[in-house]
Amino acid sequence: MTDVSIILPVYNGEKWIEDCLRAIRDQDFSGRLEISIFNDGSTDATLTKLREWKEHLKQKSVSLVVGGHSSNPRGVGYAKNQAVHQSSGTYLCFQDIDDVMSSDRVSKQYQAAKSELNSIYTSHGPTLIMPTWFCHRSVFNKIGGFNEGGKGVPEDLIFFLQHLELGGGLGRVDADLIMYRYHPGATTFSIHEDTIWKIRIEYIQKQVLQKWQTFTIWNAGKQGRKFYRSLTPANQKKVMAFCDVDPKKINSAVYTYQESKEKIKPTVPIVHYQSATPPFILCMKLDMTGGEFEKNLASLNLREGVDFFHFN
């Protein structure tokens, strides 16, 4: 069995193959490395390029497994599942064909993942983008694979939330291990923001809010109010207050939910964060206030996962 399988779903990846596979070939990893690519109905020269690279990789003792030659694309979730099923690695290193890993990515994440088999390890950064994930195969098996709903389905977010529901952990390697490309053809742009929002709202209500009797929403602005409006009526009634630092918002005293279907429109007080009562849902983006928000949060000596959760 291979130590690590690089899982690469590919659809029309011709122009990215050279950079992607060269970086994998040049890894400083001393273990047995495999690349498992599933071609999801590409119509460009993807297969030709992959055949050319098979010998280049073999010279560095990196095996290449390529599956999928149908002309009918099934979507990223399906392609990832097939790439995993045809692979043999004890550990799975996920990546997209248009991204480029640093030479020490596999070695660093492999060492980190060996210490905790039930965690997904990501690279350093403010987000948990799927192409930075590295985990033991048992994590994938426990969840049962990715959602295969096709275009517009955030299969990575669904997978990650299922992982958390099943008691899985998250680890971070404090290093920049991948170059993530944003471009018009990236799959991420096929997923509507509202779809992601609804999935995250459903998860936080199920896993967090149903266990709380009351809570405070940190941010009386646009995001905080959108969060409130997205809640079920039962969870809206649990909101004791919005909190903020903006004097204009605080001086307005209350937020009235005018779009409510109730005859008497719900109102929620707006208070200064120092006067607010935990637990909190933080509807704030990090690193957006020059460190002020983070400093204010730290001043309250709260415990993440107990006294507050981020929803940013």
Q: What is the pLDDT of residue 40?
A: 93
Query: Which regions of the chain are under pLDDT 70?
Result: 125-127, 181-191
**What's the pLDDT tens digit per position in 197-233?**
898 999 999 999 999 999 999 999 999 999 999 999 9
* pLDDT for 227: 96
pTM, two decimals, is: 0.77
Distances (CA, A) of 54 to 125, 164, 274: 32, 37, 61
Which DSSP string corresponds to 99-141?
A: -EE-TTHHHHHHHHHTT-TTEEEEESSSS--GGG-EEEHHHHH
pLDDT for 189 equals: 47
Using alpha carbons, list the distances in angstroms from residue 139 to 117, 162, 169, 294.
Answer: 8, 10, 10, 32
Distance in angstroms (rounded) separating the CA atoms of residues 199 and 14:
33
User: Per CATH, the architecture of 193-310 is what?
Assistant: 3-Layer(aba) Sandwich (3.40)
Judged by DSSP in three states, 86 sits in coil
**What per-residue confidence (pLDDT) applies to 127?**
61
Please give the CATH architecture assigned to the domain spanning 4-190.
Alpha-Beta Complex (3.90)
Spans of all domains in the chain: 4-190, 193-310
